[in-house]
Amino acid sequence: MRPGARTDVGPPLRFLSSGPGLGFGAWAVGGTEWGVASAEKDRLAAVRRALELGITFFDTAPTYGDGASETLLGRALKADRDRIAIATKVGPRDDPRRSLEASLRRLATDYVDLIQLHEALEGWERQLERLHTLQEQGKALGVGLCNATHRQLVRALEIAPVIAYQGPYNLFDRDVEQRELPLCRERQIAFLAYRPLAAGLLSGKYLAPPEFPAADHRRKIYWFKGREFERRRTAIDGLASIARRLDMPLSGLALAWVLGQPGVSIVLAGARTPEQVEQNLTGTRPLTPGTFTEVDRIVAEAFPPLRATDDLKRQAATWGERERFIVERLDGKTSAETIAALWTDGNSTAMVAAQVKVFCDQLAEQGLVD
Catalytic residue annotation: 64
As a whole number of angstroms, the distance between CA 173 and CA 6 comes to: 23
Cβ count within 10 A of residue 187: 12
As a whole number of angstroms, the distance between CA 298 and CA 32 comes to: 34
Give me the amino acid identity at 176: V
As a whole number of angstroms, the distance between CA 329 and CA 336 comes to: 9
For residue 176, how many C-alpha atoms fall within 13 Å in the half-sphere facing its CB?
A: 29
As a whole number of angstroms, the distance between CA 159 and CA 228 comes to: 39
SS3 289: helix
Cβ contacts of residue 320 below 8 Å, gap of 6+? none
Contacts 24+ apart (CB under 8 A), 131-140: 131/90, 131/96, 131/160, 132/159, 132/160, 132/161, 134/96, 134/97, 134/100, 135/160, 138/111, 139/100, 139/101, 139/104, 139/110, 139/111, 139/112, 139/115, 140/100, 140/111, 140/112, 140/113, 140/114, 140/115
Distances from the Cα of 288 to the Cα of 68, 172, 257, 281, angstroms: 39, 19, 10, 17
For the chain, the distance separating the N- and C-terminal CA atoms, rounded to the nearest angstrom, is 36
Which one, of 94, 90, 82, 149, lies nearest residue 118 by Cα? 90
Task: Report DSSP letters for 317-351, one per residue.
Answer: TTS-HHHHHHHHT-BSS--HHHHHHHHHHH-SS--
> What is the distance, to the nearest Å, from the Cα of residue 333 to the centroid of all Cα atoms in its chain?
26
